Chain A
C-alpha cells in the first residue's frame, strides 16, 4: 500500500486484507486487536502496518473481545476514531460492551466476519452471529465481496460519525468465503479517502469526554429519561436509512463505484420472481440469474446491504407487484420456521400486496450454496409464483420435514 500515492492501486487481496487496508485508510486513533478465526488476518495486518509505520494509531493488544469493545467505546466517547474487528464467539463475548457502545451512541466502527455461533462449536461460515445480536442498536451493513468490504468500512465511518446519526456501525461479511479468498480489489488513494471523510470535519462536534469539563457519559436513564434516549436512538436509526443513500451517492461520485444504497436491486425492474439475499452468496445468485435471464426467465435479486435499520420502505417499493419472493437465510430463527430475514420481511407482508413469500435456509456451517442450490430455489420460487403448492420453508441442503426429525 503506497500511502503517498494520489492514485488508486489494483491489488489482489483477501477480504480480511481489504478490511485492514480500509481501516488504515480511515486513520483511526485507537485500534483494539484480539484474534479469532476467521478474522485474525485483519489484526495481524493492522499490527504489521502499525509496526512498519503505516498505521499511526494507539494499538491496544487487548486481553479479549470484551476488552476490545470496551476499549474502543470509551476512546470513542473521548473523541477518538476507533476500529476493531471480531467474529462469532468473540462477538458474543463482547455482547454487553456492544450494547454499551450503542447505548452511549459511540460511533464505533467494527468489522464482524460472519461465522456460525450458538452452542455447537463450528469453525465455519454462517450469519448466525449477526442474527444473534441483531437488536443491539447498531447499524449493520453486509458486504458481498472484498471490494465492497473495503468500500463499506469507509462508508461506515461517514455514517457512524455523522452528527445526525452517532450510532455504531458493524460491517459484516462471510467468513471463509470472503475472509480468506483473494480477489482483485481497487485500493483508493489516501487522499481520496481523506477527502471523502473530510465532510465530517465540517459538522458540529459531537459531545466528547474531556477532563475537567464537568461532562459525564453513562448517566442512568430513569423512567421517562430512559424512554427519551431510546426514542432518540430509534429516530437516529430511521435517519440512517436516507443518510446511507446519500453517502452511497457521494461515494459513487468520489470513487466511481456503486452498489445501490440500503439494498442493491439486481435485474429487478421487470422481474416477476425475486430472490432476497445478502452476503457472498449473492455472487452465485447473480450468475444463476444471468443464466436464467438468457433463457427468458424474468428473475432478479434484491440484495440486503443494510440489515439494521431494516430497509422496509425500500424493500416494499422494490417488491411491490412481484409474484413470488424467495428469501435466502444463512442462519436460523429459533422458534420460527422461516429464516430470520424472511421473518422480518413478513412483518410487513400486507404492504407487499399479493406477493408470495418463501423461506430458503441454506449455506449454514460452510455447506456451500452452489449454483444447483440456487437453481432449486429458483424453480421453487417459479412454482410459488404459479400458485403451486410449495412448502413455506425449505432447508435446501437438508430437506427434511421438521415434523419428521
Chain B
C-alpha cells in the first residue's frame, strides 16, 4: 500500500489558490459555515495586499481584531453597517490619490448590502467608486439570531417571520440584489457561490482588475447551516443545489453585457433545493409553487438580459 504511489488529480481550483490563507486556523465561525470558506478563499485568490472592510455581522468577530490583536494578517477597517460602502469609498479614493496599490474589498452580509447599508452601496455604485463590494448573502440577519432581511426568500422561517397559526414564514418575496446593482451600469457585477469555486475565483480576479477603474459588485450565495436548519456538512451541497435549480443562477454583467457563467441545461425543480433546508420544511406544495414561480421569473429576466446585444461601458 505505502509503495503504491497514487497520481494526483487535483482540481483546477488549486491553480487559483496562489496566496497564503491569512487567517488563523481557529476562528469563530459555526462549524460547516460556507462563510468561513469564503473569507479564506477571497485572499487566497486575490492576494494578501487587499484591504478588507468589515461590519458588525457574522464576519465581524473574525474580520475585526480584539484588544490590539487580529485573527488574520490582512489590513482591515472595521466600520458601521450604515456606511460600509462609504468607508470603502474613502479608502479607495485616498489610495488612488496617493498612488498606493491595493484593492479595497468591502465585505458585508445581506443585512448591510441589501438593507441598512443599501443607500450608500447604491451611491458608491452610481459614483463608480474604485473598489470591490462583496455581499455574502445568507438571506437574513444571522449574527443577531436569524431575522428576516430583504433577501430572505418567500416562505422562509426566521425569528421575525415565524410559523404559527397566523403566519407561514415570510409572505413577501426576496429582493434581487445582484440585478439591482447591475442596473447601476457598473463595470462589473456578478453572482457566485461556494460550490463553483473556479467560477468564483475567475470572478474575483476579474473584479480585482476592473476595480482599478470602477465599482465591482459580487453577490455571493452563502447558506447558513445554523440559521437555516441544515446539517453542518451540507453547506456546499446546498450551494450546488441552488445553482442547479436556478434558485441562484451564476451570471456576470461586464459593462452591462449579461451572460450566464454556468448555464443549467435542465434545471431541477425548486423542491429539490427546498427539501435540504429546514427553514422551508413547513411549506405546502402550493407554497413551494409560489417560490418556484419567483425563481422562474427572476431567471426569465436574466435570460432576456443575456440575449441583449448591447453594452454600456463608461467613456474613458
Which residues in A have some Cβ–Cβ distance to B below 8 Å?
29-30, 32, 57-58, 60-64, 66-80, 82, 96-97, 100, 209-222, 225
Is A74 a contact of B89 with CB atoms below 8 Å?
yes
Complex-state Cα separation, A61 to B127, whole angstroms: 8
B78 CB within 8 Å of chain A: yes
Complex-state Cα separation, A218 to B51, whole angstroms: 13
Is B77 a contact of A211 with CB atoms below 8 Å?
no
Residues from chain A with Cβ under 8 Å of B103 in the complex = 211
User: B interface, by DSSP: helix, strand, loop or mixed?
Assistant: mixed
B267 CB within 8 Å of chain A: no
Is B122 a contact of A78 with CB atoms below 8 Å?
no
Complex-state Cα separation, A220 to B63, whole angstroms: 10
Residues from chain B with Cβ under 8 Å of A82 in the complex = 90
Complex-state Cα separation, A149 to B51, whole angstroms: 36
B74 CB within 8 Å of chain A: yes
Is A209 a contact of B91 with CB atoms below 8 Å?
yes
The smallest C-beta distance from B263 to any residue of chain A, in angstroms, reads 36
Complex-state Cα separation, A49 to B122, whole angstroms: 27
Is B82 a contact of A219 with CB atoms below 8 Å?
no
CB contacts under 8 Å to A, within B39-91, are: 48-51, 53-54, 61, 64-70, 73-80, 82-91
Residues from chain A with Cβ under 8 Å of B76 in the complex = 216-218
Q: Which of B66, B96, B123 contacts A58 (CB 8 A)?
A: B96
Minimum-distance CB pairs A-B, first 7: A218-B78, A211-B102, A63-B123, A70-B83, A225-B67, A74-B90, A75-B90
The chain B residue with its CB closest to the CB of A75 is B90
Which residues in B have some Cβ–Cβ distance to A below 8 Å?
48-51, 53-54, 61, 64-70, 73-80, 82-91, 93-98, 100-103, 119-120, 122-123, 126-127
Q: Which of A62, A78, A220 lies at the interface centre, i.e. has the most chain B CB atoms within 10 A of its CB? A: A78
The smallest C-beta distance from B293 to any residue of chain A, in angstroms, reads 34
User: A interface, by DSSP: helix, strand, loop or mixed?
Assistant: mixed
Q: Which of A57, A58, A216 contacts B64 (CB 8 A)?
A: A216
The chain B residue with its CB closest to the CB of A218 is B78
Residues from chain B with Cβ under 8 Å of A69 in the complex = 83
Is B70 a contact of A219 with CB atoms below 8 Å?
yes
The smallest C-beta distance from A83 to any residue of chain B, in angstroms, reads 12
Q: List 21 A-B contacts (CB under 8 A).
A: A58-B96, A62-B86, A63-B123, A64-B119, A67-B85, A70-B79, A71-B86, A73-B87, A74-B88, A77-B90, A78-B95, A80-B98, A100-B80, A209-B77, A211-B51, A211-B101, A215-B75, A216-B76, A219-B67, A225-B66, A225-B68
Is B66 a contact of A70 with CB atoms below 8 Å?
no
Is B49 a contact of A67 with CB atoms below 8 Å?
no
Is B78 a contact of A212 with CB atoms below 8 Å?
no
The chain B residue with its CB closest to the CB of A214 is B73
Residues from chain B with Cβ under 8 Å of A32 in the complex = 90
Residues from chain A with Cβ under 8 Å of B64 in the complex = 216, 218-220
Is B93 a contact of A221 with CB atoms below 8 Å?
no
Given A63-B123, A211-B101, decide whether A74 and B87 contact each other with a Cβ distance below 8 A.
yes
Q: Which of A74, A97, A220 lies at the interface centre, i.e. has the most chain B CB atoms within 10 A of its CB? A: A74
The smallest C-beta distance from A47 to any residue of chain B, in angstroms, reads 14
